[in-house]
């Protein structure tokens, strides 16, 4: 009976397409409090729907925009609004999923009643690519084959989910209004279950609000454990997750007590991977025929591991005015310009920025941007190539070091997916070119060459590997250079 080989499909997640688009918007302001100066702008993007038509990936969504500004009577105010957008991206792959982030916001103009913004968005479409190979389907039963045991990681499930973290906090401060709500998310653990992937982590929330005496800051960490339905996932599989903030808001309930009602909307994209063991023929020969073998090869990637690491960056700035009071450092952002694996360490390079709000000696509110480059790397070694890396920035502390010098410490949290790069060669076709000459002597002596395997020697002699191992002592099935192999071959033997 002929030996039958099965087709092999290499399947993994890939970045199918990237792009960017800009949205122009005009945010109306309260006419009773006309604008004097824009202090800070921040935005978060959320995808509402996606549709793939041929290679056109149509994405619809909205961005939550927050503007903090100074009024003519030198008080801080803010406005928050949603800006709708749509974008079409060319993709090459299956089942794409869109990840939209805000890259930059430019204030193009202001008036007494509105502020005009240009919001630049980044788009990344992630999906599945498949490479199918068809080895020689059947191999004659009189051919001797060398089997290669292949362990292959395949994508078992992909799924997305949206969920909200809600929290009510009581404050002793006499709050008047909320100026800004900033949130970032840290993934701590990802595990696969039966038809689901569980993601554990925490959301770090900062609320800047006004009181009768000025401004204050509320910090809160909200832990979460979210189960994302993912058909096909199993407990024995490895899993990864990408979690991101789509919007953050804080409502103020003013009564006998002041309550802050937090609502942090998160999106999660999860995947699980199963291990499949295959036996494929990577070499063959016949003891009766001379054959020519045609080979083919494919380079493929598969999931390697999920890597977590952290770092901290010091941002310092010298202001144009003497600082009387630091109000807050808000909107910390991290932009990654380079991500590589070098000497088995994952290295991320980029820029961290934040907005410092402070009061001068004469009571005026001012703001300035703080920027600092960074180079961060993992503590433990990894193997493969970087597929995707996320980074979140959180303000740990802000200190006034001198009359006009302020220092801020920002924590960076990184989550990276690493791919393993592999090379696979297989027998594509075989052609019989004639009969093999049989051994004529009763005893054949063969002297091995460096690097020769048992299969190589058997092919050179035109006998089965078992014939050699039955008649010679070979340690661990390996030869040493110049080893003498003796084969007893009865005259007129038939194979």
- Please name every residue paired with 119 in a beta bridge, in sequence order, or none if there are none: 23, 105
Q: In total, how many domains does the chain have?
A: 4
Of residues 355, 208, 184, 339, the one with CA closest to residue 266: 184
Kindly calculate the radius of gyration of the chain based on its CA atoms and give it in whole angstroms. 32
Question: What b-and-e string marks burial along 296-333, b requiring 16 or more CB atoms within 10 Å of the CB?
Answer: eeeebbbbbebbebebebebebebeeebeeebbbbbbb
- Give the pLDDT confidence of 46-86 residue by residue, as tens digits: 999 999 999 999 999 999 999 999 888 888 889 999 999 99
Is there a domain that residue 65 lies in?
Answer: yes
Looking at per-residue pLDDT, the higher value among 332 and 170 belongs to 332
Comparing CA positions, the residue from 386, 382, 391 lying closest to residue 418 is 386
φ, ψ dihedrals at 12, nearest 5°: -155, 165
Among the residue ranges 32-36, 85-89, 279-283, 375-379, the one predicted with the least confidence is 32-36
Residue 75 CB coordination number (10 Å): 15
**What pLDDT score does 6 carry?**
81
How far, in Å, CA of 229 to CA of 241, rounded? 13
Q: Decide: 183 and 245 in contact? Cβ < 8 Å.
A: yes
Tokens 């290499």 belong to which residue? 10
Euclidean distance between CA atoms 442 and 491, whole angstroms = 6
Same domain, 463 and 379: no
Q: What is the pLDDT of residue 495?
A: 41
Same domain, 359 and 483: no
Q: Work out the mean pLDDT of the chain and round it to a whole number.
A: 90
pLDDT tens, position by position, 159-199: 999 999 999 988 766 788 899 999 999 999 999 999 999 99
- Shared domain check, 278 and 140: yes
Neighbouring-strand partners of residue 354: 370
Which residues lie below 8 Å from residue 443, measured CB to CB, with a gap of 6+?
486, 487, 488, 489
Same domain flag for 109 and 142: no
Q: What is the mean pLDDT of residues 132-151?
A: 86
- In this prediction, residues 134-151 reach a mean pLDDT of 85
CA-wise closest residue to 129 among 155, 168, 150, 164? 155
Domain closes at, from 134, 155, 183: 134
Residue 428 within a domain:
no
Question: In this structure, what token pair is assigned to residue 327?
Answer: 């109000």
Residue 24 forms part of a structural domain: yes
Same domain assignment for residues 119 and 27: yes
Do residues 372 and 393 lie in contact, with contact meaning Cβ atoms separated by under 8 Å? Answer: no
Report the distance separating Cα 97 and Cα 47, nearest Å.
10
* Cα angle value 368/264/207 (rounded, 5°): 40
Q: Quick check: is 218 in a domain?
A: yes
- Tell me, yes or no, whether 53 and 86 share the same domain: yes
CA angle 49, 55, 59 (to 5 degrees): 20
Lowest mean pLDDT among 116-120, 152-156, 353-357, 468-472: 468-472
Is the predicted pLDDT of residue 258 greater than 50, yes or no? Answer: yes
Q: How far apart are CA 112 and CA 70, in angstroms?
A: 12
Residue with token string 């998160």:
266
Range list of β-strands (E), 29-142: 35-53, 56-71, 76-90, 94-110, 114-133, 138-139
Give the structural domain span for 445: 439-495
Q: What is the pLDDT of residue 187?
A: 95
Residue 429 lies in a domain: no
Q: Is residue 433 part of a domain?
A: no
pLDDT band at 283 (very low <50, low <70, confident <90, very high): confident
Nearest Cα residue to 72 out of 32, 107, 117: 32
Domain boundary among 90, 110, 134: 134
In terms of pLDDT, which residue wins out, 54 or 493?
54
In this prediction, residue 206 carries a pLDDT of 94
Residue 257 backbone phi and psi in degrees, to 5: -125, 155
pLDDT of residue 439 exceeding 70, the answer is no
Model pTM score? 0.86
pLDDT tens digits for 370-411? 999 999 999 999 989 998 899 999 999 999 988 889 999 999
Last residue of a domain, one of 134, 153, 178: 134
Mean pLDDT of 243-247: 96
Asked whether the beta carbons of 448 and 455 are under 8 A apart, the reply is: no
Biggest CA–CA distance in the chain, Å, is 111
């Amino acid at each position: 009976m002929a030996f039958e080989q099965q087709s092999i499909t290499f399947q993994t997640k890939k970045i199918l397409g990237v792009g960017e688009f800009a949205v122009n918007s005009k945010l109306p302001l309260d006419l009773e409090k006309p604008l004097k100066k824009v202090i800070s702008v921040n935005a978060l993007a959320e995808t509402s729907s996606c549709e793939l038509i041929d290679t056109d990936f149509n994405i619809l969504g909205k961005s939550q925009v927050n503007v903090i500004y100074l009024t003519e009577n030198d008080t801080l105010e803010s406005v928050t609004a949603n800006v709708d957008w749509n974008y079409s991206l060319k993709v090459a792959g299956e089942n794409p999923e869109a990840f939209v982030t805000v890259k930059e916001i430019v204030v193009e103009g202001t008036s007494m009643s509105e502020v005009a913004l240009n919001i630049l968005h980044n788009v990344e479409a992630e999906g599945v690519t498949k490479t199918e190979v068809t080895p020689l389907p059947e191999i004659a039963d009189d051919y001797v084959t060398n089997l290669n045991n292949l362990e292959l990681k395949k994508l078992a499930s992909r799924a997305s989910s949206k969920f909200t973290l809600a929290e009510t906090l009581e404050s002793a401060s006499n709050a008047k209004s909320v100026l800004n709500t900033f949130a970032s998310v840290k993934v701590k653990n990802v595990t696969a279950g039966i038809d689901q992937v569980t993601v554990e982590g925490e959301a770090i929330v900062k609320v800047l609000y006004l009181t009768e005496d000025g401004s204050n800051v509320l910090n809160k960490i909200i832990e979460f454990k979210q189960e994302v339905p993912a058909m096909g996932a199993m407990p024995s599989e490895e899993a990864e997750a990408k979690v991101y903030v789509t919007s953050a808001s804080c409502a103020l309930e003013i009564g006998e007590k002041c309550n802050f009602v937090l609502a942090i909307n998160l999106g999660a994209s999860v995947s699980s991977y199963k291990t499949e063991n295959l036996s494929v023929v990577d070499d063959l020969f016949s003891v009766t025929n001379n054959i020519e073998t045609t080979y083919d090869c494919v380079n493929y990637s598969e999931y390697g591991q999920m890597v977590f690491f952290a770092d901290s960056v010091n941002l310092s700035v010298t202001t144009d005015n003497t600082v009387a009071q630091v109000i807050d450092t808000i909107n910390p952002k991290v932009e990654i310009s380079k991500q590589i694996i070098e000497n088995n360490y994952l290295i991320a390079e980029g820029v961290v920025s934040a907005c410092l709000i402070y009061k001068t000696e004469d009571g005026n509110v001012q703001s300035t941007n703080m920027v600092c480059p960074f180079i961060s790397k993992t503590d433990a070694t990894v193997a493969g190539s970087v597929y995707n890396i996320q980074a979140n920035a959180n303000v740990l502390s802000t200190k006034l070091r001198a009359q006009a010098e302020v220092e801020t410490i920002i924590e960076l949290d990184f989550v990276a997916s690493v791919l393993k790069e592999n090379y696979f060669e297989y027998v594509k076709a075989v052609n019989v070119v004639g009969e093999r000459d049989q051994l004529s002597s009763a005893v054949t002596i063969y002297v091995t060459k460096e690097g020769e395997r048992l299969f190589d020697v058997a092919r050179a002699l035109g006998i089965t590997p078992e014939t050699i191992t039955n008649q010679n002592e070979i340690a661990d099935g390996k030869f040493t250079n110049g080893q003498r192999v003796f084969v007893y071959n009865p005259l007129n033997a038939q194979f």
